[in-house]
Amino acid sequence: MGHIDEHTLELFFLEASEVAEQHDAIASHLRRCPSCSALSAEIAEFYELTAIHYSDRPAPDEAGKISGLPDDPYLQAFLKKVLVIPSDTSDPVNPPSG
């Protein structure tokens, strides 16, 4: 496996269903590749700082959106997870299985 692009690493960090089948290969690559590991750490730091910044936001509205955030389903799903906001069943990033 060559270097992993930033978008794929971001999806991996967010545990998005789009990269679920690649999870083991990506994790293995990150253990061996200092460059991709460093980029992954930068992505993690970005989301950690984002979570801190948005930690005082109100709960999601009736549509499941968190007020004051960009209309980005990945960011919304991540913040719902780290801010311990109950997720709804219409999560576009990780839809319910079944």
Residue 3 confidence class, pLDDT cut points 50, 70, 90 = very high
| Token output for 26 | 């990506």
pLDDT tens across 56-65, in order? Answer: 766 667 776 7
Cβ of 17: how many Cβ atoms within 10 Å? 14
Mean pLDDT of the chain: 78
The pLDDT of 76-89, averaged and rounded, is 61
Dihedral pair phi/psi, residue 55, rounded to 5°: -65, -20
DSSP 8-state symbol, 17? G
The pLDDT of 23-32, averaged and rounded, is 96
Q: Note the pTM of the prediction, 2 decimals.
A: 0.63
